[in-house]
Amino acid sequence: MTKGNVFQGIQTTAIHAGEGPDPATGASAPPLHMSSTFVTDDVAGFSAHDLTPDSPYLYARWTNPNVASLEAKIAALQGTEACLCTASGMAAATAIFLTFLSAGDHVIVSDVSYAGVAELARDTLPRLGIDVSTVNLSDLAAVADAIRPNTRLIHSESPVNPILRLTDLAAISRLAHDNGALHSCDATFASPLGMDTVALGIDLVMHSITKYIGGHGDAVGGAVAGRAELISKIRLEAAIHHGGILSPFNAWLIGRGMATLPLRMKAHAAGAQAVAEWLEAHPNVVRVMYPGLPSHPQAELAQAQMSNMSGMISFQVGDAAAGAAIAQDMIEKLRVIHYAVSLGHHRSLIFWMETAGLMGSSFRLTAAQEENYRSYAGDGIFRLSVGLEDAEDLIADLDRVL
Ligand SMILES: *Cc1c(COP(=O)(O)O)cnc(C)c1O
C-alpha cells in the first residue's frame, strides 16, 4: 500500500495514494475486506495502548484494510501525516472535542456552524464541565478577547454553514498557538482541495466525508487529519474506546468516490460560479453568497485562502413567507435539483433555512451575533449544493421557481 503523497500531481494522488494491486490476487481495484477480526501470530497485546502505526491488523475497531487505505488517501490529499476515519462527520467532531477537552477546559467555537456541531458544543460539552464560548471567528479581536488561560481548542469552520462566511484561518492558528491551544477546522464545505490547511497552521482538519470526499450521496462517514501524534491520540479515544468507526464497505465506496475528487471539485466550482452569477443577476434574488463572487464580503480572503471555491451557494429571496412559498414550489416543480438536506454530491441539492427557526434550535445567538447573521441571511436563505449536472439545466430548473 502506498503511504503518503509520493506523487507529483493531485489527480494521481487521488487515484493511487493508499492503494495498489492486491498482493494476494493481483486485483487492480481494491478488494473489500469485511472481516471483523484478523488471524495473528502475536500471542498477546490486546490493549489499545499497544497499537503502533506498524501494528498488523488485529480487530476492525482498531483498523481495517479498506479504512486504512481511505485514511492514507485523505492524508495524502490533505498533506497531513495521518488521518482517522469515523462513522460520520459528527463522530469526527465528537472525536476532536472528547479527545482534546476535559472538564475545566475552555473551547471557542464559531457562533455559526453546521447545526449538529453547534448543538453538540452548546448542549453536550457544558454538561461534561467544558466551558464553551461561541464567537464570530471572522472577528479576530472578538476571538482574542474570548481566549482564557484554560482555552485548549479553537474550532473553526470555513466556509461556514449555511451563510458561507469565511474565517482567516492562518490568523486563528496564530492566536491559538500563541495561547497554547490547538486549532481544529471543519473544512467540509471546502473539501481537502479547497485550502492548504497545513500551510494555514491548522492542527486538525475534519471533514464530513459523506459530502465532497465520497461525492455520490451513498455513504455516511467522517475524517480527522493532522500530525501523527495527534491522530494516534484520537484513534485511541474515539475509535478504539468510543467505537464510532467507519465500516469497511463505506470506506470502499468513499475511496472509490474520492479517486475523482480533483476532477469533481473543478466541475463543482465551475458550475457554482455560473449558477451564482445567474442568481446574482436575477431580479427576485436579494443577495447571493458565494466565495467566488467579487460581491462576497470576504472575496479577497477567499482568493488568498481558497484554491477552489467549491459548489456551495446561499441566496436570499425576501422575507420568511416568500422563502417558504418558493420552497413549496421547489418541492413541486424542480426536475433536476433535489429538495433535500446534505451537500457535495454529484446531484444538486437545495434546502430552505429560515433564520428564526435556526436561531431557536441550533444557534441561540446574542443580538449582535444575530445581526451579523441576518446581514448575510435576512429572514432565511436557500442553501444550494451545486452538483455535476450542466449549469444550463440547473439554471432552467431554478428559473421555474424564482
Ligand atoms: C454534514 C456536515 C457535518 C456532519 O457530518 P455527517 O456526516 O452528516 O455526520 C459536519 N460539518 C459540516 C460542515 C457538514 O456539512
> Cβ < 6 Å from ligand 1: which residues?
88-90, 114, 116-117, 157, 161, 186, 188-189, 208, 210-211, 220, 222
Q: Is residue 101 part of a domain?
A: yes
Domain final residue pick, 234, 258, 282: 258
> Are both 206 and 330 inside the same structural domain?
no
Show Cβ contacts of residue 49 under 8 Å, excluding neighbours closer than 6 positions: 236
- Cβ atoms of 355 and 379 within 8 Å: the answer is yes
Q: For residue 184, give the C-alpha cell.
A: 481544529
For position 363, which CATH number holds? 3.90.1150.10
Q: Is the pLDDT of residue 3 over 70?
A: no
Q: What is the pLDDT of residue 288?
A: 98
Residue 291 has what pLDDT? 98
Mutate which of 97, 114, 353 for ligand 1 pocket (most atoms within 8 A of beta carbon): 114
Give the predicted TM-score (pTM) of the model: 0.96
Short-list 303, 271, 237, CA closest to 393? 271
State whether 268 and 379 are in the same domain: yes
pLDDT band, residue 1 (cuts 50/70/90): very low
Question: What cell was used for 307?
Answer: 484554491
Mean pLDDT of 69-92: 97
Residues 64 and 84 in one domain: yes
- When computed from its CA atoms, the radius of gyration of the chain, rounded to whole angstroms, is 21
- Residue 250 — pLDDT band, cuts 50, 70, 90? very high
Q: Which of 225, 156, 213 is nearest to 186 (CA)?
A: 156
176 lies in some domain = yes
> Which element (helix H / strand E) includes 350?
strand 349-354
Answer yes or no: is 1 within a domain. Answer: no
Alpha carbon distance 42, 218 (integer Å): 37
Domain co-membership, 32 together with 94: yes
Same domain, 254 and 265: no
Residue 273 maps to a domain: yes
C-alpha 220 – ligand 1 centre gap (Å): 9
**Ligand 1 atom closest to residue 209's alpha carbon, by position in its atom list:** 7
Residue 28 lies in a domain: yes
Ligand 1: nearest atom to the Cα of 222: 7
Q: Is residue 68 part of a domain?
A: yes
Co-location of 133 and 152 in the same domain = yes
Q: Are residues 183 and 79 in the same domain?
A: yes
* Residue-range definition of the domain harbouring residue 355: 261-399
Residues 270 and 148 in one domain: no
Per-residue confidence (pLDDT) for residue 55, from 0 to 100: 79
Q: Ligand 1: distance of its center to the CA of 90 in Å?
A: 6
pLDDT of 340-366, one tens digit each? 999 999 999 999 999 998 888 778 888
259 closest CA partner among 54, 89, 29: 29
Of the three residues 215, 234, 258, the one that is the final residue of a domain is: 258
- Predicted pLDDT at 44: 67
Determine, yes or no, domain membership for 20: yes
* pLDDT for the residue numbered 5: 55
Mean model confidence pLDDT for the chain: 95
Out of 85, 137, 158, 161, mutate this one to test ligand 1's pocket (max ligand atoms within 8 Å of CB): namely 161
Q: How many domains does the chain have?
A: 2
Residues 97-144: tens digit of each pLDDT: 999 999 999 999 999 999 999 999 999 999 999 999 999 999 999 999
Determine, yes or no, domain membership for 5: no
